[in-house]
Structure 1
């Protein structure tokens, strides 16, 4: 029996958002890798970029399976995500690492929030939830970024206040974009009602603060 509360019409919009996010993450990490201070760092970032592109291909395949053109599905989210990246253009390699750390962790938190509660969970089908969970698994990426940032801060204490300030800038812009996404009719309902979305934004802020504290930085 099909659950009548499923709203499969929301899935293509979610896939379009995810696809463009993963594509731009690949582009960002690929570009950052070129400016790495060591060859080892360059290889690590290149590997993470490949993972992001693999995520993009997974979502692209889901769109094609649904009979949708990936470029058309991504188009509604291009301006917002591109504007976010324009407003958070890093000044050097360490700032690019902090940006990746903040944005990837927030994205993972948003993906994790999909279907958390019983009402929200029924808005996505099993295959959609499985895809979101597969793309969400970024622990290795987030862990490497955190470890590399920590090592850089330990090596040069002057980085700490600058990266703390930059982290606040990035998370502020990211949360503004997240708020706009949650207000959209095409993907917002997947995260619950108005109260649930407000609570989610508060949770995103709290988790970011804990991650910055783990690096010894103020948020």
Structure 2
């Protein structure tokens, strides 16, 4: 389902917010992965995370270019989301390398699910951009395989990382709900009233949790 807004002004405001939070999320991911790479146990893993950081920055540049094409300054679009995103990362600071890997994997996959769900309601060009960025499987596959290797090498990690992943999911869902409600990411763009909007968001949160649980099961962890 895509939207053809009868009134383009509210839709442009919605799009500015959507792309603004996406852009800052990608920039934050670049910074986080670059920083975490320093704590890699070996040079190979350090190079792997460095490569993933580069991919995130390329995604940031794509979203910024879209904002520029709309006549929107990327920095001004990102600024409203900086405090909440930064606070989220402060609350979920990893204790070690393995928690860093899990955080990168959980946040990357949950964010991708969230933006793909929102993209069902946007114009074709914006949806193509979201799909281009959020279906980039290279980073997800690298993180997934590295986590599988770590768990196989040290099965004692399983319970700790399972608990950590559940905490990350809870924090990510809280963040997604806040963004959805404060910026009317679902209700506003399709004209739903407040109760319909809340129902849509509840359904989306359930979908995100279900997808996360399936991915944890694939890692051999309790979702």
Per the normalisation by structure 2, the TM-score is 0.89
**Paired position in structure 2 for 1:139:** 137
1:100 and 2:100 equivalent? no
Residues 90/151 of structure 1: CA separation in 2 closer, same or farther (3 Å cut): same
Does the CA contact (< 8 Å) of 1:25 and 1:52 recur in 2? yes
Name the stretch that deviates more: 179-188 or 104-113.
Answer: 179-188
* The one of 137, 161, 166 aligned to 1:163: 161
CA RMSD, Structure 1 to Structure 2 (Å): 1.7
Is residue 172 from structure 1 mapped to residue 176 from structure 2 by the alignment?
Answer: no
**Secondary structure, counterpart of 1:9 in structure 2:** helix
C-alpha distance in structure 1 between counterparts of 2:56 and 2:104, whole Å: 12
Query: What displacement does 1:169 show?
Result: 1.1
Q: 1:110 — aligned with what?
A: 114
Alpha-carbon contact 1:99-1:167 (below 8 Å) kept: yes
Tell me which stretches of 4 or more aligned residues in structure 1 moved more than 6 Å: none
Unaligned runs of 5+ in 1: none
**Is the 1:15–1:63 contact (alpha carbons within 8 Å) kept by the matching residues of 2?**
yes
Give the structure 2 partner of residue 60 of structure 1. 64
1:198 matched to 2:202: yes
CA distance in 2, matches of 1:167, 1:159: 12
What is aligned with 2:44? 40
Matched, 1:216 2:220: yes
Match of 1:128 among 117, 126, 129: 126
Asked if the contact 1:108/1:138 (under 8 Å) is kept, the reply is no
- Rounded Cα–Cα distance in structure 1 between residues aligned with 2:56 and 2:4: 32
More helix by share: 2
Secondary structure of the 2:12 match is coil
Q: Which moved more, 1:77-86 or 1:177-186?
A: 177-186
